[in-house]
Structure 1
Amino acid sequence: MARKSNVDSDGPSTADVSANEDVEMHDQDTKMSGFKKFGYYQDTPDYTDSDTNPNTTASSVAGDAPVDGRKKRAEAMNMRKSIYGKKHDRLGASKEDDTIRRFRYLLGLTDLFRHFIDTNPNPHIKEILAEIDRQDAEEIKKTKASKVRKGGAAAERRRKTEQEEDAELVREEKHGGHNETVFRESPGYIQGGTMRDYQVAGLNWLISLHENGISGILADEMGLGKTLQTISFIGYLRFIAGITGPHLVVVPKSTLDNWKREFERWIPEINVLVLQGNKDDRAELIKERLVDEKFDVCITSYEMILREKTHLKKFAWEYIIIDEAHRIKNEESSLAQMVRLFNSRNRLLITGTPLQNNLHELWALLNFLLPDVFGDSAAFDDWFSQQGADSDTVVQQLHKVLRPFLLRRVKADVEKSLLPKKEINLYVGLSDMQVTWYKKILEKDIDAVNGGAGNKESKTRLLNIVMQLRKCCNHPYLFDGAEPGPPYTTDEHLVNNAAKMVMLDRLLKRMKAQGSRVLIFSQMSRVLDIMEDYSVMRGYNYCRIDGSTAHEDRIAAIDDYNKPGSEKFLFLLTTRAGGLGINLTTADIVVLFDSDWNPQADLQAMDRAHRIGQTKQVYVFRFVTEGAIEEKVLERAAQKLRLDQLVIQQGRAQQPTKNAASKDELLTMIQHGAEKVFNSKGPIGMATGDQEADDDFEAVMKRGEQMTQKLNEKYETLGLDDLQKFTSDSTYEWNGETFEPRKKNVGLTWINPAKRERKEQNYGIDMYYRKTLVTGGRTENKQPRIPRAPKQILIHDYQFFPERLSELQDKETAWYRKDNNLQAPLPEGPDEDLEVREADQELAQKEIDNAEPLTEEEKAEKERLIEKGFPEWNKRDFQQFLNGSAKFGRTNYAGIAEEVDGKTAEEIADYAKVFWKKYKTLDNWQKHLNVIEDGELRVRQSEQKKELLKKKIGMYRMPLQQMVIKYTVSTTNKKVYTEEEDRFLLVMLNKYGVEGDLIYEQIRDEIRESPLFRFDWFFLSRTPQEIGRRCNTLIQTVVRELGGDEMRNGKGGKRAYEDDETEDEVEEPVKKKAKNGVKNKQLEAVKGKASPASAATSRASSVASVGPATKAKGKGKKK
């Protein structure tokens, strides 16, 4: 039951509440006074119940708009916007309180958090921190003064009086006790069953995070009920804390229905909306439920977050919960960036694999949770790298960092009723066909396999070899042309031609006989195709899920496999598609047909069966091809798992490691076992067919257990320093044999291809003609190799090389052709210009015939001429130089250097001096010049706008109240902003500047935080784009008033200003023309009542108009 620390179920009496409120209000005012003076803590306005209740929905206030009432629909929409605005305001105030509580709590744990908070450049954060320090210093000062008055140190040793103890208890009760909620057993609002003790402990941990204003990571091992713990926490917010939402739960698409079912099972009172479906279905859900907030919890997928971001961003979420949160480990991904834009009070991440590769990914998760604490990734990485010399210090410090935010428990520690899974690596060999294909793959790229090509081989080439070898280890039929046929038959060759299939066939016969059910995982969906044929051949009933399986079919397959009395023996799944959010505890055998690069993906696959609800012993059989590339893949996975164990489960630290394998690691994997394959003339390792009896199979199982234990022991002994120094060299040794490549002997052949044998001659007539008629193929070139052409500088006009350099290079090339008897090539072109091209070829040939080699003086001159140009400048650098010159001015070398990647201000200055001397030698030089001059004109105009705006603001002592804006008549007629709003916009423009990337977003935030417009929902609902258009119009008005003709001399002139003035109009629905010539009555009323009396009630009533008034009066309005 829930235990409140200072209130019973009935609550305190009215008198007690009143007395406590008086004391508490005084303490709260004293505590927050320091924050109010900075303007960071604002009292929220007093609203009525209809608009301030946190659970108020737009529909509850606005009602349903009538179908034929355009005006009422507009009012409902405005009311809905006001509801959203008020909730965002309240959320902002709550987040401010949470920030203060969070900082106090974290700084009370360890000063380590001060280091990370101090790296945040936000002045808001720094001043809050300074105010906390000031208040703490005052408290210490008061305490010391009190001790001095009571007798100094002697006073500390005396016993407390009853009154002092009572006062301390009351103080603790007020400030620390009234928020503490602890559950000792499964809460009463959980209806579908009873929570386990460790799940209740997890719920209490989530509650403590909430009460301290902290977001966290629930990182329990997969299968421990993280979904139930999360649902129970949402139930706490609803039934205990009185917070009904809205909450946003973002989950993988495959688990949407599972989350909905879990809510219906455990807390059916919570109103759940699943935002999913096609475009029309989603539009209906948004219209009927989402917009009017007719839900408590919205569950949606990662894809829907990106598609429906416009609607979801409008809400002030209480909690954003992300399942399988390692999807946002890359802070640059679209999903990670989008969810960071959503406004929420707290965030919760759920993942069974909090660390998949390195500490930077861990920082990305912490940054999403607490951006005000972990705002700088470089500071986070640098801090731990600086501590690397003292491993014990790093261990302790990282443990302190993680403890408040991360809860990680494993099944072995908390779930005693769940037997630990047994993992056995079954080592198999290669069949005769697999050996043949393995040789073909290696021989095709033998230079890359030997590393003899140096750095020439690309990583992509090596990755392709690795992929092909792994396919060969799985089944040779994955290669086109390997399967015998046509006609293609489903026969025993399907099993006998792959050693893994032989092992699987024997394993499944045993499992079927003992009544087990099996999950088979593979990375490759085409392996599942072969498995399906095999299952049909053996008569095994099966289900299948891969990446192309529709959502509805996934649910149906899972339900079909899990239903009581199901006849399905096998479940075929791809590791990535079937390893998330699926409960398959009715199976007790897991077969990993191949290993994933990421070991966490394999762990997720195992835990589909090994989770709460499993009553049998779970066995995991991983197939590994011995003496081949798969051994090295498995060892690399073991290293990453050890890293996870050190960092997360023990709080250990390590240097960030590369996520992907390096070229050396890939080369080592490829080379492993290659020599043995080349030297073999038949199957390797385990024989195929029926050559092995059951006792041999038992020997294979026993040997697999021994080798698995040996591999685990190898990595269990690695500590922090070992992993920091870990390279692929440590995996070169296997079974006493060292496979380390010898770089010094890279020119020698390390692995010899298979020996070529003379084929038996066949003198049959048919074979003779068949061989004779075969054409094509490579033939050895008997001609001697031509020496390589001299290296020449590729000259571009923007590199400003002297013309003499081109002459010397042409001379050198001509001599090279003459010396090697090369003819001048015929220039390319259309057939009509053949005669011209032949004449050019003849002239070029004459130059070759008369060519002479470069003298030593000319060679030295060539080197000097190269240094006079800019060979390190490329096209991208040149374009960035033009853009920087246009943006900052041609002489602002420091500013241009910020625009050009990798260039210093000195390099920019050297290049600019040459550019402005020789720019007319460039192609399209006039176009480049126009780009720079137009940009400089914009800079000058921007500076003049700033000066005029500053002058305008300086004319008034209180510009927000006194400034007079001289509107034009056209602006006044279309005006929908009040003069007070326009004054505010001009003052903010003067504060933030007239140009910039985020100016209008900052002005929008100022509008929302200003008490002047607390109830001005028109102004509060303006978007940055609309604010920008209005600001542009206002600045042109100021320029027109103070700038005279100076600003009109720029490009665009007067017409540009007139066009700008029309851009600030607020978009309104297009009015349709009435049928049968009947005009819109409201429109007629507006046109007919354009009198001074009616104008007095408009939003533009307070403005003074200047301009061609006579002209305006003289013209009548068209009817």
Structure 2
Amino acid sequence: LPDVFGDSEAFDQWFNNQDADQDTVVQQLHRVLRPFLLRRVKSDVEKSLLPKKEINLYVGMSEMQIKWYRNIIEKDIDAVNGAGGKKESKTRLLNIVMQLRKCCNHPYLFDGAEPGPPYTTDEHLVYNAAKMTMLDKLLKKMQAQGSRVLIFSQMSRVLDILEDYSVMRGYQYCRIDGSTAHEDRIAAIDEYNKPESEKFLFLLTTRAGGLGINLTSADIVVLFDSDWNPQADLQAMDRAHRIGQTKQVVVFRFVTEKAIEEKVLERAAQKLRLDQLVIQQGRTQQQAKQAASKDELLGMIQHGAENIFNDSKEGGAFSKDGELTETDFDDILRQGEEKTKQMNAKYEKLGLDDLQKFSTESASAYEWNGESFINRKKDIGINWINPAKRERKEQSYSMDKYYRNALMTGGPRPDPKPKVPRAPKQQAMHDYQFFDSRLGFLQDKETAWFRKENNLKAPLADGEEDTLEQRTADQELEQQAIDEAEPLTEKEQAEKEKLTNEGFGEWNKRDFQQFVNGSAKYGRNNYDTIALEVDSKDANEIKKYAKVFWKKYQQIQNWEKHIAAIEEGEQRQRRVVQQRDMLRRKMRMYRVPLQQLKLNYTVSTTNKKVYTEEEDRFLLVMLDKYGLDSEGLYEKIRDEIRESPLFRFDWFFLSRTPQELSRRCATLITTVTREFEGGPPAKENKRGAEDAEEEEEEEEKPAAKKGRSSTGTAKNKTVNGVKGTPNGTSRAASEDTTASGGAAKSRARGRKSGGK
């Protein structure tokens, strides 16, 4: 309206007067808007519409809720106590608030809270949450009086729990949440509103189901939890309280007493009162729209937390036996009406100035009794809420006990069946434990007598259908043995104990395998070193077991495999000892082996040779230094090559891997062994050595092509150097000699041409 409001500065000055009373500013705004704005409410339009009745029902918490509420606060006790400092993230506090609100609704919203698996739809859905106990009583009463109920919740997962509850109680229901398709929404509303509909409940989420829906066929509204924005709750109530409603609408709002939900409700009531005072959005309205500050969130979280820690047995609305009686239910209804009236009267008296200065009962987490403790925080410390006293629980690792506790669903337990006496404990007999076969006979006899004495039938063994006839025959034979069973005599009992002690019952499969591996690695008689391989046995136990093992090893299944592994390992040990002695003898033949040692290369080795004699001498010296059976031998040799100044510029030798060094060392050890054994080696050994040399040549070919001439001349020079030079030359020295020789020849040719 530019012709009416022509001067914006005058308009702003009129309503932006900081010195004026806020109520006066609102009254001026109302006078300006009255000619242009017509506001009508339902009570003015529809006189027959009865006013709705709101009742806040204050409930406590179940024992499970108290446990989870306390755990959530203890997890972030520093943030709850305000000890996080000024930089404490507000997001962290918002997350704590959300977890506490989930706990107030139902503890099954947390993973691991619901007993199971298997997960059952049972009474534990009701008695583990105080709101569900209250809802259960309320719905029974409402159904008896012929009412129909709308249930609103902020969380769709709460609707999942309510669905299970409705199925358990046999209530017909419809559901709408944010994921419901448009067609399904229309179908559910029509189904609920049609005449003579059997649908008793309508489950909705506050935000998704609170707008644009006509559900006047219901007269009871249950707000399972409150929204931060009171307008969302008002819209939810008005789904039933609208034109067309013929009954009085009663709204029950569930509030968890002495918990964070009380503070959420107070803040919502404050916003609602501000909205009643100011209908036009503007500067004043912005303060009503502000989100909760960090201190306000802290105050909400701390509300009731100390009671949770100090009195963990408090059950709120529950009686001592954990159930909500009819008397308790009527008392809660009466007290809820009184508290609702008191809260409404409290906020009706507050003006705009009071509401803008009022947030919660304690505006700051550091103010109490009118005194600010923010500056004394460092002196007195932060000790507002102490965690609950820790209780040490007995830890059991029994699988039977674990599954027995995991499968408890909380329902009534059936009468215990008469207990069958415990069967006699029998020794498990494995072949590697070397028990006498007589022990198995005595144990079978004792078990058969136990079954006969307790009237237990022989079980049918599991198996395929085509073996049923054979398994049935075996069952009949076993049953015949049970029918003819007799108890063990005292002599047989003593014999059984003696045979049990003679075996190796304390040896398991892992111990046996480690024994076999240790025997193959160190030899069958090295008990002390074998004991290093077997974790749980000492040398005396190894010796005792080894004596029986080598007498009775044929009793073990697949004993040939184990014996072959041990003998192969011992043969390998003997070969290593022999090679080590020959290498030591070779080293003793020279005063300085690194410079003087000579190798008698075979023709095949010489033709395929890519290592220099100096490199081979170094490898043999290192093998003698560390030993052929040393751990990580070839990694050590590789490190020695890289640290030695002899090969600083020998890129070929420096780039060899431990695997390549291993193959070259095997070839050199074979060469030394042939030298001392005398004569040609055995046929299979010669073939094996040639195969190793061929593998070595295949891997070294790329390096030889890159670093050496592949011509026949270069190969003959190498052979001549090996055979004619006593000490050999390094590759770098050979290259220097060749270069200097070439330069001399060119100078001679130059002098000759000059003379001419």
TM-score normalised by the chain length of structure 2: 0.49
Which protein has the larger Cα radius of gyration, Structure 1 or Structure 2? Answer: 2
Higher relative contact order (CA 8 A, sep 6+): 2
TM-score, normalised relative to structure 1? 0.34
